[in-house]
Amino acid sequence: MRALMIQGTASGVGKSVLVAGLCRLLARNGVRVAPFKPQNMSNNAAVTVDGGEIGRAQALQAFACGIEPTVHMNPVLIKPEADEKAQLIVRGKVIGKLEAKRFREDRIGWLGMVLESFEILQKQCDVVIIEGAGSPAEPNLRDGDIANMGFAEAADVPVWLAGDIDCGGVFASLTGSLNILSASEQARVEAFIINRFRGNRALLEDALVWLEKETNKPVAGVIPYLPLELPEEDAPFRHLEQNELVHSNKFNIAVIAYPRLSNSDDIDPLAGESNVSLYFVRDVKDLNASDLIVLPGSKHVASDLLWLKEQGFVEALQKHLRYGGKVLGICGGMQMLGSVVEDAGVEGGDLEGLSLLPIKTTMKVEKTLRNIDKPSPWANGSRVTGYEIHHGISNEDTSLFPFSACTPDKQVWGTYVHGLFEQGEFRDFWLRSIGGIESDGVNQQKRTLASLDMLADALEQEIAPDLLKPLMQRSV
């Protein structure tokens, strides 16, 4: 077996995480493995070693494999900009806009290119672990599909179908999804995998026996609910659910979750700090008495800036600053904090910014894509790693790297660098300087790797050996 595809009964059932865990497990056992997702829809992206952009989940999966991400790991990336329009990225480069009404017609021509990228990875590896998108059983999306069974059939790869038991209804969703598939697609489903199980496994046995008898398919494994600290691809995730109250003994960070928020994992290293309480907000009243307000990245700066103004966040930010609070803008968030966002044919017109940073931005059609790994003179030489991925060009003060601008009173900061808090030494320096608090100083990569190893351990223990063994074969 040189490939396995993980498909799911729905979005959010854990496909990305399961693929990352399998990649980590195989890599630990000396298998040359790579991730692959034919088509992804996400505004969380990463910059590849070959100078393109792919879904953030595939970059995480490549990290689990111990290899650098390339554009072939996610040849088609769709980045939503509005309800019926998205930016289309093919092999890492923007090639235009994609409209919902033409989605099914336009994607037909992508299959050959997607298969070619898959074959490139196969030649480099022992095994390729493939991630599907959404559900393979959507009747309106099956014609011309390249993301799920359409790809699996064309590439002739086996499939494990994953369901999330923590959401409820997992047995109905697994059997229902299988029943919608064609006869050849049903035969391609090799096994089921049940994700995020809590409780006593013995109470589940009757249902597992029923599932295998009803479908004539084995259950590859029941994966327990794990306390993982991994970046999530689809924006505001667990922090919105928690929405913690302000803690008097912690540094309180509110992240504004505008509709086109992107790269939400930028704040994960801060959220992992024991002295920090971090939460996303969509309503002004939820800002509370935060110490720092973060304006994160945005896939469509103009629409999110208008949303900020309409929702009353401008007045709230001004009040926050009058009382000595701090503000940080990341990428699109920084562009909003400047005096103006001039448009050169990207988003549809010039807009007045919030005028909280001494910068102005011109949106250019060509994107800036680059990885960052260098010391920060401003932070006593602390190493900064991350990446830039943006349309706009802003006037910058290079002496502040990795920041582009700040106000004379040091209350408002802006940066183009995604992932700038990954390195513990720099994060510690910044938190001490802006909030007077001590960081744990742990590199985020170390936290991520610990979670990946926890996940790989669980998969090794829970997946049926006869199904796992073929994946462990190495080329001579």
Q: Is 64 in contact with 21 (CB distance < 8 Å)? A: yes
Instruction: Write the CA distances from 38 to 35, 71, 113, integer angstroms.
Output: 10, 11, 10
Token pair recorded at residue 62: 């490549």
The yes-or-no answer on residue 247 being catalytic is: no
The yes-or-no answer on residue 167 being catalytic is: no
Q: Give residue 445's identity as a one-letter amino acid code.
A: Q
Nearest to 431 by CA among 265, 228, 274: 274
Catalytic residue, chosen from 331, 390, 391, 406, is 331
Token pair recorded at residue 219: 């259950």
Query: How many other CB atoms are found less than 10 A from the CB of residue 434?
Result: 16
Catalytic residue, chosen from 72, 320, 390, 418, is 418
Residue keyed to tokens 């990795």: 402
Residues taking part in catalysis: 331, 418
